[in-house]
Amino acid sequence: MSGLALYRLLTEIGAPLIHLYLARRRARGKEDSERFAERLGRPSQPRPDGPLVWLHAASVGESLSLVPLIEGVQRNWPDHRLLMTTGTVTSAKLMAERLPEGVVHQYVPVDRIGYVRRFLDHWRPDLVLWAESEFWPHLVSEPARRGVPLVLVNGRMSPRSYARWQRYPRIIRRLLDGFTLCLAQTETDADRLRTLGASTARCAGNLKFASRPLPADDHELKEVREAIGSRPVWLAASTHAGEEKIAGAVHAALAPRHQGLLTIVVPRHAERGAEAAAILTTAGLTTARRAAGEAIAPETDVYVADTMGELGLFYRLSPVAFIGKSLTADGGQNPIEAAQLDSAVITGPKVSNFEEITRRMVAAGGAGIVPDAGALAKAVGCLLADPDLCATRAESARNFAAGETGVVEAIVEALVPFLGPPLTPDRRARA
């Protein structure tokens, strides 16, 4: 029995366990109860008339990176309808705010063959654009079996994923065979994909460079800026477990030398806000939680910004930003978001998901890598003490983030064989 056949068998006989797992996720708020049927392949909206492009992204970062491509497809092929799927509640909420008008959002079905077939029977996509590297066997193989072309966009293969898939060469080769074309973020990603069996893999650039700066509400920005006043401030963004404690230690080390220092902590998962605040309070720091409606007071040491979708607000307020999931957890987060908003970037060394971007940003003078809490305190302190150095690094980061243009155009060009000739500028003006 092949690996994929065994997977299908296990997902069928394991149905009770899958249902139990999903029920527990619903109980913890990790599934959308009102739209849960979508996770079982049951649509909540009708299929629009005309040719349909289905785009899939796993979660927040991947879905945001697809928005510029969605706009490019709409601009060049206005007669095509677009369906966007994601898998998390947070990404669905963000897509409700960020998706262009006319794009349908659905939760991606759980990867059981019955759910996937029910989903495809209803939506009948003419093309599938699959983001990054989440290869679910049924979701990938079933459209290919039906003759629907699949294109991997912004394809990524981290060192960890690459090593794991090398242990299952027949399975990954079979999955990659389902893609008509693989467009990778970097030449390294393209090489890894080709080695694993994607003969069509090539580098088209990273869509994260094409993403618009994270938004911020003008009223909220003005209000928080006034609360901070002239205090020196730095940001620990997208923190994971253990990094709030590090941020607190950095604050304690720097506060004697930077009068009125304010540390802002934005947990990657907003539901960890109370936990993060408790850790910082236990360390002897005065904290305020945004989700609890607590304001920044003169005595506040650390402001825990545990709300969803406001990271752009705090990047705008912070001349120095540490990017989390890089000291106590591995993977990193997207440093381009900070660079676009004039923050001098600092990150830990564990950035496997953004390895090449981070390396290139460091080489461009826009970021620094620190190995531990002590080095982070030193780096933040140096930037706060030297505004010119901080501004220079922020400018270098911003220039780097703006430097890789044309990625959307490159991908649009690669889609012509699947979608036909795009609408030319003169025809677009007459449309």
- Gap between the Cα atoms of 224 and 364, Å rounded: 31
| The token pair that represents 401 in the structure block | 């983030």
Amino acid code (one letter) for 11 = T
Backbone angles phi, psi at 392, to 5 degrees: -65, -45
The answer to whether residue 62 is catalytic is: yes
Distances (CA, A) of 332 to 61, 312, 313, 326: 12, 17, 20, 5
3-state secondary structure (DSSP) of residue 81: strand
Specify whether the CB–CB gap between 237 and 333 falls below 8 A.
Answer: yes
Specify whether the CB–CB gap between 330 and 350 falls below 8 A.
Answer: yes
Specify whether the CB–CB gap between 214 and 337 falls below 8 A.
Answer: yes
List of long-range contacts for 166-171, beta carbons under 8 Å, 24+ apart: 166/196, 168/3, 169/196, 169/197, 170/2, 170/3, 171/3, 171/4, 171/137
- Gap between the Cα atoms of 199 and 195, Å rounded: 8
Q: Which of 320, 293, 297 is nearest to 305 (CA)?
A: 293
| The token pair that represents 162 in the structure block | 């690459």
Distances (CA, A) of 276 to 150, 207, 242, 281: 41, 32, 9, 9
3-state secondary structure (DSSP) of residue 346: strand
- Gap between the Cα atoms of 153 and 151, Å rounded: 6
Distances (CA, A) of 222 to 217, 219, 308, 310, 313: 9, 5, 18, 14, 10
Specify whether the CB–CB gap between 310 and 218 falls below 8 A.
Answer: no
Q: Which one is catalytic: 12, 34, 38, 62?
A: 62
Element (H, E) at 323: strand 320-323
Q: Which of 347, 354, 336 is nearest to 403 (CA)?
A: 336
Bridge partners for 82 per DSSP? 53
Angle at 202 between CA 135 and CA 170, to 5 degrees: 40
Q: Which of 370, 363, 365 is nearest to 349 (CA)?
A: 370
| The token pair that represents 93 in the structure block | 């909420």
Specify whether the CB–CB gap between 260 and 232 falls below 8 A.
Answer: yes
- Provide the annotated active-site residues: 62
